A and B are shown apart, each in its own frame.
Chain A
């Protein structure tokens, strides 16, 4: 059986909030190392990969591999009943029909308990190869969001060019064009505002802004975001969570026509 106690309900609330527009139904795969989730959007352009490590819970217990097939809209409804600071406990049997969620208020003795019906989801899993990315950019997650929403007003796609001079986000739309360039930058007082660019070779790729803006909903989870690029592979956008847990998004690039 599974029993996982999370000190702050907001972590799960925010994770689900940031992926529910991309994915409708998915399996939460639980095993002794933690709770993982991998799902693609309907058109198979973007992929969400989440890992909540066992260390992030106290206590965490899962003796057998369990797949919890969840409708994320329904899960959102249940999680709305939890306050951000509540203690959240997930419980499930070995071959469960439902997932039990308990929210304990940290301030008073209020305890609420919900059972969410589960479903059978026949899901395809993708093997994601370990990749040494040519460019890795760390920046404040709010900054990334601002770039994406600003450029979204101009065009549906953005070209990201990483060179030794910096990273340039540029777009070309019907009403005109626009570009934002960032350079490596250290802020001694507020290290969370650092911009850090690691580059082994120049990269230039084009992506759909609609998806990137969607990923930016995860901004609430982490103050910084890591963007990894290599030519001719999907983009990786990673929001780090406490411990080595993470929420990752992959996005397939747009490619020029071969003809």
Chain B
């Protein structure tokens, strides 16, 4: 899932790229959401007593509950969501998928075992790990979205890539996903934590890719190379290369080709046998997506079909009728009210002068330096404390 350790790197090297704020600051924006990932997280997180929610006939309803209420939360805050579903996975992902499948199988075995011998906690842990998003889950969510008047599209392959294309073309303001991959697909803005529950009180993270590149002082190609080296969904990570080494290698050698050359020639690192980084790179640069001007990408936010919602959610799925109707009313209200504009639409940001940029950069470097120094000293202190024999005063 995603790129390992990318977020801390961005936070250290390009803090200006990350903005955090309330969900209400996102009002009026259209956002493309990675639906498959959201549904997966709903299946895991929307539970009661560790059990997935079910209706009377025993069908899971966690995904619908999550989809309905989290979408309502966005709509209440003036966001216009557009859901994008995964199509077929790209071939290169088969390794990752096989691994995930294996993990699921293991978890299933574990679950059986835990049910026999383990504690309730174990059972819950393993049952979360066995979660899979099925075709039925997707189909039900799509049906729900249709009734809610919220548009969705099905991507040819990866949903994140499709979200990124829509955002790049200006069809939506941002792509929303927890997955940092989305940055590699060149979405100008990535929103994280958007589909989280209100109770978690997590601020919405806004990551701007241009500021990331500026802060890292890299072009997009180098950035993607860095992400591949950090470990993405398409190729295995290289053992012993963590975030700081990866960053150092890319900075030193410039391209992944040269890094690979270095690793092969002489180094303490070993390349996995099959490491098709060129293919992975191609997937990030030319993903199989629908162009944003495709008629299938023309989306509309419509009025909800309240009777349809009641029939589907209340009659079929056992939701509370009053709540569903209230939710429908909220959706209807949102389609009517006028939108607040932002000042940026009228006044342009004055770009910073090079001098200001330089000052800012110097300050940042000083900060990072100080942080590193402190970390080092802390470590030293700890080592010292450890070195003392036990019981010595």
Contact = CB atoms under 8 A, between A and B. Distances in A.
A213 B350 CA distance: 29
Interface string A245-259: 000001011111101
A233 interface: yes
Most A CB contacts (10 A, CB to CB) among B21, B22, B345, B360 go to: B345
Interface string A55-97: 0000000000000000000000000000000000000000000
Nearest to B360: A122
A259 B338 CA distance: 11
A92 to B, nearest CB: 18
B347 A124 contact: no
Most B CB contacts (10 A, CB to CB) among A40, A122, A206 go to: A122
B340 A254 contact: yes
Contact of A250 (B301, B343, B350): B343
Contacts of A105: none
Contacts of B342: 43-45, 252
A242 B360 CA distance: 36
B149 to A, nearest CB: 12
Interface in A94-133: 120, 122, 124-129
A187 interface: no
Interface in A175-207: 206
B363 interface: yes
A38 B360 CA distance: 19
Interface residues of B, number: 23
Given A42-B21, A206-B338, A254-B338, A126 B343 contact: yes
A250 B348 CA distance: 14
- Interface SS majority for chain B: mixed
B339 A126 contact: no
B300 A253 contact: no
Contacts of A45: 340-343
A252 B360 contact: no
A257 B50 CA distance: 42
B343 A255 contact: no
B319 interface: no
Contact of A157 (B21, B24, B338, B349): B338
Nearest to A157: B338
B354 interface: no
A47 B343 contact: yes
Contacts of A34: none
Given A42-B21, A120-B363, A259-B300, A127 B348 contact: yes
B345 A252 contact: yes
Nearest to B344: A44
Interface string B39-61: 00000000000000000000000
A173 to B, nearest CB: 12
B315 interface: no
A252 B340 contact: yes
Interface of B: 16, 21-22, 24-25, 27, 300-301, 338-350, 360, 363
Given A40-B343, A42-B21, A126-B343, 16 more contacts: A43-B27, A44-B344, A45-B343, A47-B343, A122-B360, A124-B349, A126-B344, A126-B348, A127-B347, A208-B340, A234-B347, A253-B341, A254-B338, A255-B341, A256-B338, A256-B339
